[in-house]
Structure 1
Amino acid sequence: MLRFLIIPVKDFINKMYFGDFFNSLYLFIRPLIKWFLHRFTNLSELQRLVYGCQDGYRRYKLVERSLNMSKRPQIRHLVYCLEERTSQPIAEMHIHPEIVNRAVHTVVLAKKINPKYHPEFSDQLARCIEAIYGYKRLVTIIDQMRLEPYDSENHAHEHKLKALWNNLMPDVKLEARITKQWQEIGFQGDDPSTDFRGMGILGLENLLYFSREYPGTARHLLSHSQHPTYGYTLAVVGINITHMAWRLLKSGIAKSHFYNLSKIHGYPTVEHFHQFYCYLLYEFDHFWMNAKPNNLMEFNNVQVKFEKAIVKVSERESCHFKMNLSVESI
């Protein structure tokens, strides 16, 4: 009976997302809905969402909204503190003691939830908090990487750039640091450091991860980029895809993917962002070759269409972008 009641109300709440009128109407009647359901079920809104929604994006999204809209001073203060904490590059070792455990403890006390009668609630809420604030933490980390400029005097940066060449061109020796050879893997000029200005070290880290973890696929894309008719500048396109991946993450469009990933792997990490990037770059290559553009001047139009397709898939509650490794086995 409880689940029968929860699901229609949950669907009703989701429908209220569309349009300012429905949002205003929902905000007006929300207290009444909560009061009625609490009296009928003797459960708080968070309990109803945790018990009534399947683990994954939908549950995490609605729990996040419930926390943000809470009127209880303890929870409002908690949300503020967690927002502040995850706006800093918090270390992984502090995620559970400073984020997850603190949040669960505060909610249980504020909502007066007895663990004896609701033994599963704390663990399920912890998974939600881990996904919600793990995502916010990831945005902070990726932003920090994006804002770190490539420095040709930094030996670590230079080492990674050389590794990118070796991964993509293992049988060709790089003749010099400043050379036209860089154009063979898709940089615009003789010095690739100038191409990283928009995305900083993040652009290099993405390309390096792709070439290191999926070497066969990376070289397959390199061969596509050298096609006499449909060729493109692989490294520069890769940096553009970094920008796209960052926008999708920052705007929250990518939450469906990362929240669904969190139900399997826990809080999202930088490696998960790299994998998301690899998926986008691999799929863009496929999209580009199928588009059969007349020349590279059509890049912006093709990328806009590709991004729209990705956004449309991201709207699905079951969204989970997964890298196709078929090329690696060739």
Structure 2
Amino acid sequence: MKNQYHQDMLPLSNYLNTIYLFFRPLIKWFLHRFTNLCELQRLVYGAPDGYRRYKLVERSLYLSKRPQIKNLVYCLNEITSHCIPESLIDAEITTRAIDTILNVKKIKPKYHPGFSDAFGRCIDGIYTYKMLESYVEKLRLQQYSSENFEHEQKLLLLWNNLMPNIPLENRITKQWQQIGFQGDDPSTDFRGMGILALDNLLFFSSEYSGTARHILSHSQHPKYGYTLAVVGINITHMAWRLLKSGQAKSHFYNLSRTHGYLNIEHFHQFYCYLLYEFDSFWIKLKPNNLMEFNNVQERFEKSIVKSTEKENCLFKMNLSVENV
């Protein structure tokens, strides 16, 4: 019923958005005359720091008809698609954006001393999110190779993190099924999400080793167990979809407000939160068998998406693990 309500409201929402875009130039002109501030200034000064401000600034930049700003947006999109080093972000992204807007909008820092810093934080959040998207996609497209020494070492480290007291007998062995892979060779399970999935699992098992082993014990429950590694790969797919669709912007933009530049570690932390919460969700529901996995994951993802719709969304790990 609720989904039907949202579907029924979509035409109205699209209609109102069309009306807004039609009258937007007139609204901007009126507000500029009334406040003597350009749209970006009004957004930066009027919206709370974090997701809402970044989202509105991003929309304003993309809707701008000024050639210099359109060129700026194009250039920044090109730069961030190549994942430049963090040391160059200020010079290549933030400073370029601030200087362009100050020049085009004729904003004098002497009379608006807080604008540059506040606008710069918006740019940091918006464009390091885009860089994060690009880097995550590169990892996803990088396929696992048993001939790659680094890949093999990561896989062995994952085993050691989860099963520190049990040595791995062989590279190809049924032992891998103990930590939730489908067969004797885990490399075949990474096809869809590539090295991204392995890096996610390895980060979780390294940074939260005790919690990871506790969740592994949940997954080995005789009645309510599940295949941890395979589920972990599915959670990578979910995290990637939320990032790519922009639904995760509320979390990451709010994170950027306090952490500055976004990087791959922030995506790993997002993944850890999702995997940890999914385990709690699964244990709470106590499904009859693994055949219910798709239904449980769908319900879990809907709950996460609902949270991302809140402007103050910020996912944090809560490491109060319960006994099996």
Alignment match, 1:56: 50
CA offsets per residue over residues 129-176 of structure 1, 9 Å max, x none?
000001000000000000000010111110010000000000000000
Shift of 1:18: 6.5
C-alpha spacing 1:327/1:291, structure 2 compared with 1 (3 Å): closer
Alignment match, 1:5: none
Shift of 1:326: 2.5
Q: Does 2:182 match 1:188?
A: yes
Alignment match, 1:276: 270
Q: Is the 8 A contact 1:142 1:202 kept in 2?
A: yes
Alignment match, 1:124: 118
Q: Is the 8 A contact 1:17 1:23 kept in 2?
A: no
Shift of 1:89: 2.2
CA offsets per residue over residues 272-304 of structure 1, 9 Å max, x none?
000000000000001111111111011001000
User: CA–CA distance in 1 between the matches of 2:57 and 2:21?
Assistant: 16
Q: Is the 8 A contact 1:216 1:327 kept in 2?
A: no
Alignment match, 1:102: 96
Structure 2 matches for 1:298-313, cutoff 5 A? 298-313=292-307
Q: 2:319 aligns with which of 315, 321, 325?
A: 325
Alignment match, 2:157: 163
Alignment match, 1:28: 22
Structure 2: gaps of 5 or more residues: 1-9
Q: Is the 8 A contact 1:139 1:249 kept in 2?
A: yes
CA offsets per residue over residues 211-244 of structure 1, 9 Å max, x none?
0000111011100000111100000000000000
User: CA–CA distance in 2 between the matches of 1:74 and 1:211?
Assistant: 47
CA offsets per residue over residues 289-329 of structure 1, 9 Å max, x none?
1111111011001000000000000000000000012339x
Which SS does the other structure have where 1:19 is aligned? Answer: helix
Which SS does the other structure have where 1:297 is aligned? Answer: helix
Alignment match, 2:218: 224
Alignment match, 2:7: none
Shift of 1:92: 1.2
AA aligned opposite 2:82: Q
Structure 2 matches for 1:72-111, cutoff 5 A? 72-111=66-105
User: CA–CA distance in 1 between the matches of 2:307 and 2:12?
Assistant: 18
CA offsets per residue over residues 44-98 of structure 1, 9 Å max, x none?
0000000011100000000000000011110011001111111112221221110
Give the ranges of 4+ consecutive aligned residues of structure 1 lying more than 4 Å apart after TM superposition. none
TM-score, length-scaled by structure 1: 0.93
Alignment match, 2:132: 138
Q: 2:238 aligns with which of 235, 244, 249?
A: 244
User: CA–CA distance in 2 between the matches of 1:86 and 1:100?
Assistant: 12
CA offsets per residue over residues 14-47 of structure 1, 9 Å max, x none?
xx99611001100111111111110011000000
Structure 2 matches for 1:4-23, cutoff 5 A? 19-23=13-17
Q: 1:199 aligns with which of 193, 199, 207?
A: 193
Q: Does 2:109 match 1:115?
A: yes
User: CA–CA distance in 2 between the matches of 1:275 and 1:291?
Assistant: 24
Alignment match, 2:227: 233
User: CA–CA distance in 1 between the matches of 2:231 and 2:320?
Assistant: 22
Which SS does the other structure have where 1:327 is aligned? Answer: coil
Pick which of 17-26 and 232-241 moved more: 17-26
Which SS does the other structure have where 2:169 is aligned? Answer: coil
AA aligned opposite 2:158: L
User: CA–CA distance in 2 between the matches of 1:24 and 1:203?
Assistant: 40
User: CA–CA distance in 2 between the matches of 1:267 and 1:93?
Assistant: 11
Equivalenced residues, count:
313
The percentage of aligned residue pairs carrying the same residue is: 72
Q: Does 2:63 match 1:69?
A: yes
Q: Is the 8 A contact 1:199 1:239 kept in 2?
A: yes
Alignment match, 1:7: none
C-alpha spacing 1:175/1:237, structure 2 compared with 1 (3 Å): same
Which SS does the other structure have where 1:326 is aligned? Answer: coil
Alignment match, 2:285: 291
